[in-house]
Structure 1
Amino acid sequence: MPEQVTEVGSMRALGVNGAGDTLWLACADDGELVDLDPYSFKLPAGLERGEGLRAGVEELAAILKRVAPDVVALQEPETSQATYQSLVPRMSVEIVLEFAAAEAGVEMRRVSRAKLRSLLGLPRSGAVSSYSSEVISKPQNPHWAKKREIAAMSAVACSKDDA
């Protein structure tokens, strides 16, 4: 992937949406999506849990240093009746992201659905993902629907947000 040069005064945001044990990633410069590789992240397999968490922090920190976002915008999950056990994989990979952002020296924000709606001027009703085509003109495949589109919406919103 060619290096992206960010103009003076512009803002680069890495939007992140967790689903299960996977973080879906999208990057925007001043409200416009840019190509990103990788577009997802999972903790390394085959390692003891603690070692996997440490390796995950190192790998994500390296990705963040390469992508060089000004902010990481982690989309909070929708309210759910999920059990603790079903949420452990997502919580684990999100905590690894927080440590990686700190390691890379990148600001990290947790973005609620309400905040995302406010930043993008979206209605309060309906699923946030149902408005993705109003925010993103060109979907980035693969794994767009119900995965990366929320990450992209967070990236676009936070790359334009001054707060």
Structure 2
Amino acid sequence: METETATRWLTDDEQTTWRAHLDVNRLLMHQLERDLQPFGLTLNDYEILVNLSESDDLRMRMSDLAAATLQSKSRLSHQITRMENAGLVRRENCESDRRGLFAVLTEHGIATMRRVAPHHVASVRRHFIDLMSPEALTGLRDSLLPVVDHLRGQRGKL
């Protein structure tokens, strides 16, 4: 016979905090997405451009990029196709693995990042960073990092 454990329901304060987190996440991502629309980019596009722009030789293996962006390989492949059609990235074969492919940032992709990044950072500041005191930001960071570490550790177990 299984032992039934009691559900630890959220307290009112915990419930308010959880729902505020959910609201902030949804509303902020929606706003950041809207602020990228004039540039013809989605948040997924921007995240891919950021990952490539911060990587060695402005390239990443498709499998590593899928992992970094939490996308399935199939979904990422469709995303990269759209971005290729826009001239932002290109695919290159991997010399060491015939089945492997790299996503590579193009000159147009680099120019797009240089043009869009200041606007994106201003949006992040306007809708998030500048609404909190430095102390609140430090507290939020210190509160969220253990959750990030926990969830990153869980990724390999899924």
Report the TM-score when normalising by structure 1. 0.27
Rg larger in 1 or in 2? 2
Higher percent of residues as strand: 1
Report the TM-score when normalising by structure 2. 0.27
Q: Which has the higher contact order (CA 8 A, sep 6+)?
A: 1
Higher percent of residues as helix: 2
